[in-house]
Amino acid sequence: MKPKIHFGEQLSPRGEQVRSALTSGPGIAWVTVFLLVPLLSIIVISFMSRGTYGDVQPHFTLENFKRFLGYGAFGFDPLYPKIILRSLLMALGTVTLCMMVALPLTFFIAGLPQRWKQVALMLVIIPFWTNMLIRTYAWQIIFSGTGWLARAAAALGWIAPGDALYPSALAVFVVLTCDFLPVLALPLYASVEKIDWSIAEAASDLGADGRRVFWHALLPQIKPGLMAGAILVFIPATGQFAIPDLMGGAKTVLLGNAIQQQFGFSRDWPFGSAISCLAMLIVMLGLWVFARTAGEEGRKTLI
Amino acid sequence: MATPVPAIEVEKLTRRFGEVLALDQINLSIQQGEFFSLLGPSGCGKTTLLRIIAGLDIPDEGKVSIGGVDAGGLPAHRRPVNTVFQSYALFPHLNVWENVAFGLRMKKVPPPEIEQRVRKVMALVEIEPLAQRKPNQLSGGQKQRVALARAIVNEPQVLLLDEPLGALDLKLRKQLQIELRSLQRRLGITFIYVTHDQDEALVLSDRIAVMRDGKVEQLGDAAALYEHPRTRFVSQFLGSCSLIEGRVKQRNSNSTLVETTLGELKTASAAPAREKITLAIRPEKVQLLPCPAVAGENRIRARIEQVIYVGSGTHYELRAGTQPLRAEVMNSHAGSNSFQIGQELLVCLPPEALIVLDD
């Protein structure tokens, strides 16, 4: 009889099952306990109703979703659609501002000599090591009436001396942009670093001026990084509410604080769940539309 | 009759990269419709010169005129020249058709005309079936053709080619060389071709400029460069040569007698006005005399050290005293050249084949 060559050991079907349970089991269990179960319970709770004392009662109802869309007890009031729209606009604004800052920044860093690149990247990342809230409080100091930025603005005659620069929309967007900048700049930098400049030269050789060289030869090359960064900023920015609260003066309700309000202060878990479900749905819808328009590369970035 | 305006005129062009002098006071005049090659080893400045003509690099000193017009202030995208890049530099996100149409789109040519010109050029370089493919779905040779089509569709005054066949295998290279040559004849566009491959330059060019360390070492057509190299560098870079050092012994009106370690050699050319000179001889001009042969003018005794059979011919490495010599003999008749390693024989160096070098 010819000796059989074994590559690795032979396992019985049962043995194989045990092994795969051991290797992939913990991961599956983690995702199930901490992601799938909470997600499912939110979906289920969103169809239930609130008891008198804020408890969740298992009566099936569509009331929460109707209320969200604006059909409340007091007639039509598009409060929540407005909140959603406001959150999306704020996220889009943040993404746009981050791109406008990150594009020149990453091209600048990529053009630096090798050892300075490391330093520059470090400077981009360092703010990330600080807690977001602490950073925001630091911004409050800078923007306050006695802060150097406000004093500089006053010296230029933009505001009255002694006035603070916050709460204001400007402060909200400045802080949001600075906070999310590294999230967009890092994947973008990875793309910018890899740019094949001979393609830009080819475009210029074929009659493209500076603007069209960027549009036709550079942008397509950095698109994957730009899109990845945009998604990474867009998703958390949609749910962001601490910064608008602290820098914008807590006057505007956004998705994040609307949800927080329902689960906390209002003790209306079913309605909070309904907002969460719809928010997730809207973000996923947005990503789907994005993937369709960005084509093949966009889909690859998403996955 | 007025002399026609040169396609490219380069005057005193100098380019420094830090301490390195990439181009050193280059002067060149390239005629309309010429296939002109810049030949030299890597780092000789040939690609830098091409990039300056294209407008992709800026000279420190000097002037470039394209079709008689000073191109100094013209950025790359406004120059009537196009480049075929060494790495092809095709747009990875565009398909072949869009790649070829790119230049015309940038110039805002009306779409029906774009359609027609792209189709014509794609037929010319035989890439019509690839129209919808992306560059990453093409082979090296196909990419080469697309890069060529993308450049010539713009009907440039001058086409600049930067080692376009460098990345291809030998057989494909030979085939594309022939196609390039016939394409250039048909289109009548001036081609400036950068290469480090001497065979390629010899096969393709009307004229060749051999470059070294940022200078043009010698300029001429293929035959002139091959038959009359002026320097050691040119004689070694274009083909190979055996070099023999010697002293001028006697100058005649149409010949020179040179004293060398091999004895007295007569050369048919006039010697420069100095005593120590270098003679060069092409290996195929060295005659191996069948034994028995009698000693005579320019006949020297040598020993065969190495025999290399290359199919069409046989190469012999010889040594005459301390002087190495190389000979190449065509295998025109079966078993015609049956010299053995170690054999002593007489070698003839014909006076008209002995070239006197300038350095």
Kindly list the distances between the CA atom of residue A45 and the CA atoms of A42, A110, A200, in Å, as whole numbers in the listed order: 5, 50, 55
* Predicted structure pTM score: 0.79
The pair of three-digit structure tokens given for residue B158, joined into one six-digit string:
């001058």
Paired with B338 in beta bridges are none
Q: How far is A298 from chain B (nearest CA, A)?
A: 13
pLDDT at residue number A238:
85
- Put residue A256 in one of left, alpha, beta given phi > 0 → left and psi -120 to 50 → alpha: alpha
H helix runs in A111-168, sequence order: 114-125, 132-143, 148-155
For B272-323, what is each residue's pLDDT tens digit?
A: 778 888 999 999 998 888 777 777 788 888 999 999 988 888 899 999 888 8
A80 and A66 Cβ atoms separated by less than 8 Å: no
Are the C-beta atoms of residues B219 and B10 closer than 8 Å to each other? no
Closest-CA distance of chain A to residue B310, Å? 40
Q: Does domain B8-233 have CATH number 3.40.50.300?
A: yes
Contact B233, B358 (CB under 8 A): no
Average pLDDT per consecutive 10 residues, chain A (303 residues; last block may be shorter): 60 81 88 90 86 78 80 72 85 92 94 91 87 87 84 82 79 89 92 93 93 92 89 87 80 80 83 87 81 59 50
Residue B21 forms beta bridges with which residues?
B16
Q: Do the strands B35-39 and B61-66 form a parallel or antiparallel pair, or are they unpaired?
A: unpaired
Q: CB pairs below 8 Å between A and B: how many?
A: 64
Fold of the domain built from segment(s) B240-356: OB fold (Dihydrolipoamide Acetyltransferase, E2P) (2.40.50)
* Residue limits of CATH 3.40.50.300 in chain B: 8-233
The tokens 């100098």 sit on which residue? B14
A interface with B, Cβ–Cβ < 8 A, is 196, 198-199, 201-209, 212-213, 216-217, 220-221, 297
CA atoms of A141 and B87, how far apart (whole Å): 54
- At B309 the pLDDT is 87
B75 contacts A207? CB cut-off 8 A: no
Long-range contacts of A67-74 (CB under 8 A, 24+ apart): A67/A271, A67/A274, A68/A271, A68/A274, A68/A275, A68/A278
Domain with CATH 2.40.50.100 in chain B: 240-356
**A295 → chain B, closest CA residue:** B93
* Tokens found for residue A287: 């990503």
CB pair distance less than 8 Å for B91 and A203 = yes
Of A202, A207, A220, the CB nearest to B85: A202
Strands B263-267 and B276-281: unpaired
For residue B159, the cross-strand partners are: B82, B191
Structural domains of chain A, ranges and CATH numbers in brackets: 86-253 (1.10.3720.10)
Please name the helix (run of DSSP H) or strand (run of DSSP E) that holds residue B106, with its range, or none.
Answer: helix B96-106
pLDDT in tens, B187-233: 899 999 999 998 899 989 999 999 999 999 999 999 999 999 999 99
Of A106-115, B98-107, B253-262, give the lowest mean pLDDT range.
Answer: B253-262
The alpha carbon dihedral of A219, A225, A230, A233 has a sign of negative
Task: Indicate whether B147 pLDDT > 60.
Answer: yes
The first and second tokens of residue B184, run together, are 């250039």
Name residue B324's beta-bridge partners: B319
pLDDT at residue B133 tops 80 = yes
Contacts with A209 from chain B: Cβ below 8 Å: 75, 77
Which positions in chain B have a beta carbon within 8 angstroms of at least one beta carbon in chain A?
54-56, 75-78, 81-83, 85, 87, 89-93, 102-103, 106-107, 150-151, 154
Number of H helices, E strands in chain B: 8, 20
User: How far from the centroid of its chain's Cα atoms is residue A154's Cα?
Assistant: 34
pLDDT attached to residue A106: 94
Confidence of residue B1 (pLDDT cuts 50, 70, 90): very low
